[in-house]
């Protein structure tokens, strides 16, 4: 789909087939109320919605440039947050990282369905803007401070930071192909200002086994990832919780009492957690209405094997929790686990 041009001064034109939450919730009065507002870091309303205007196939279409965006542009963010998370203005974020309250024994001990498990959280550094409004200097300072903190980790979390700048293309391509590294050139992030100065200030940290990884300065300033082959969801969650608590000793994260961990995309607010499995479900793949019915009833998102905007391959899907705000971290993982058990049972039935 070709990107549209828009100068931000007039109510945006939306194509008839546009179904983004931006399209659904941006009224003319809200646009008139917000169009000239600018946050303290200089982030404008036009910048916030540009991605959803120029990419009419967006599912959401709006990004925050700083914590203030969520209050200054709340006339639009609040209905979008309510629509996506079912989270109202009076709700507040709840956290629960206590492993003991998760009941998720491996749902596929024989390895017939689940290829791999990955649980990640997004985090941003307190006291600086979010990615869409960061300056080049701020982004580079975040990279060096975060890389320094990560390189001080020990034990299973010990590893190496690899800047994208100067990384051999074949090494980068392989990391992306193996699902370890983010893709480059995402047009949604591009239109949100998240790819400025690329690849400077971006990189990936990982341990030798690539079971603990951190993306630096992609969509969020940190994506803290725990992943491994198979369906031992409890082991993946335990490693992630340990890592987050260790990093938090040296990096102060941007946090809001109501919205939880603050992220550039509103779909990641709250826990900022996606818990996913790559799972082979060939029979359900042939019965997508049944597949979608189970996914919807368990608040699951069905994606392709290369994450967002990708296709499934040979009956393998990326299945993850949809809700991230108004639920705790344990509930995110429990959502995914309960849904995966239901999907495996249905696959066996078919």
What span, in angstroms and rounded, lies between the C-alpha atoms of 194 and 197? 9
What span, in angstroms and rounded, lies between the C-alpha atoms of 30 and 334? 37
Counting beta carbons within 10 angstroms of the beta carbon of residue 290, is it exposed (0 to 12), middle (13 to 18) or buried (19 or more)? middle
Alpha carbon 88 to its chain centroid, in Å, reads: 21
Is residue 118 involved in binding ligand ADP (CB under 6 A)?
yes
Is residue 116 involved in binding ligand ADP (CB under 6 A)?
yes
Residue with tokens 């998240």: 194
Active site residue: 44, 68, 118, 120, which one? 120
Annotation says 274 is catalytic:
yes
Residue among 35 and 187 whose Cβ is closer to ligand ADP:
187
Binding partner of 25, given ligand DAR, ligand ADP, none, CB within 5-8 angstroms per partner class: none
What per-residue string of b and e applies to 200-221 under the rule 16 or more CB within 10 Å gives b? bbbbbbbbeebbbbbbbbbbbb
Residue among 206 and 274 whose Cβ is closer to ligand ADP:
274
Stretch in the footprint of ligand ADP (CB under 6 A) among 11-19, 20-28, 302-310, 334-342: 302-310
Q: Which one of residues 58, 211, 226, 334 is an interface residue with ligand DAR (CB under 6 A)?
A: 58
Tell me how far, at minimum, the Cβ of 70 lies from ligand ADP, in Å. 19
Is residue 59 involved in binding ligand ADP (CB under 6 A)?
no
One character per residue 188-227, x = contact with ligand ADP (rule: CB under 6 A): -----------------------------------x---x
Tell me how far, at minimum, the Cβ of 60 lies from ligand ADP, in Å. 12
Interface residue list for ligand ADP (CB under 6 A):
116-118, 120, 179, 182, 223, 227, 274, 276-278, 305-308, 318
Active centre residues (catalytic): 120, 219, 223, 265, 267, 274, 303, 308
**Which spans of this chain sit near ligand DAR (rule: CB under 6 A)?**
20, 52, 58-61, 188, 219, 265, 267-268, 308
């Amino acid at each position: 789909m070709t990107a549209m041009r828009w100068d931000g001064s007039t109510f945006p034109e939306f194509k008839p087939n546009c179904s983004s939450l931006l399209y659904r919730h941006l009224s003319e009065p809200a646009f008139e109320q917000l169009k000239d507002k600018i946050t303290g870091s200089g982030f404008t309303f036009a910048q916030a919605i540009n991605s959803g205007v120029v990419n009419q196939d967006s599912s959401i279409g709006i990004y925050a440039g700083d914590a203030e965006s969520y209050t200054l542009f709340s006339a639009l963010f609040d209905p979008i947050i309510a629509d996506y998370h079912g989270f109202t203005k009076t709700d507040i974020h709840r956290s629960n990282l206590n492993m003991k309250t998760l009941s998720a024994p491996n749902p596929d001990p024989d390895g017939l369905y689940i290829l791999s498990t990955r649980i990640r959280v997004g985090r941003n550094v307190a006291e600086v803007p979010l990615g869409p409004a960061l300056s080049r200097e701020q982004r580079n300072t975040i990279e060096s401070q975060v890389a320094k903190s990560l390189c001080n980790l020990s034990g299973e979390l010990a590893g190496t930071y690899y800047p994208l700048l100067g990384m051999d293309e074949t090494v980068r391509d392989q990391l992306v192909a193996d699902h370890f590294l983010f893709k480059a050139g995402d047009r949604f992030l591009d239109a949100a200002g998240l790819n400025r100065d690329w690849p400077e200030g971006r990189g990936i940290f990982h341990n030798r086994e690539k079971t603990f990884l951190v993306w630096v300065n992609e969509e969020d300033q940190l994506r803290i990832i725990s992943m491994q082959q198979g369906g031992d969801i409890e082991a993946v969650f335990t490693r992630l919780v340990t890592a987050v608590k260790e990093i938090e000793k040296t990096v102060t994260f941007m946090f809001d009492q109501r919205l939880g961990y603050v992220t550039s995309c509103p779909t990641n607010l709250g826990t900022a957690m996606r818990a996913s499995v790559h799972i082979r479900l060939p029979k359900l793949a042939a019965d997508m209405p049944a597949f979608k019915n189970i996914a919807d009833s368990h608040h699951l998102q069905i994606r392709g094997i290369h994450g967002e905007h990708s296709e499934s391959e040979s009956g393998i899907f990326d299945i993850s929790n949809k809700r991230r705000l108004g639920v705790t971290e344990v509930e995110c993982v429990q959502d995914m686990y309960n849904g995966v058990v239901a999907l495996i049972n249905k696959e066996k039935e078919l």
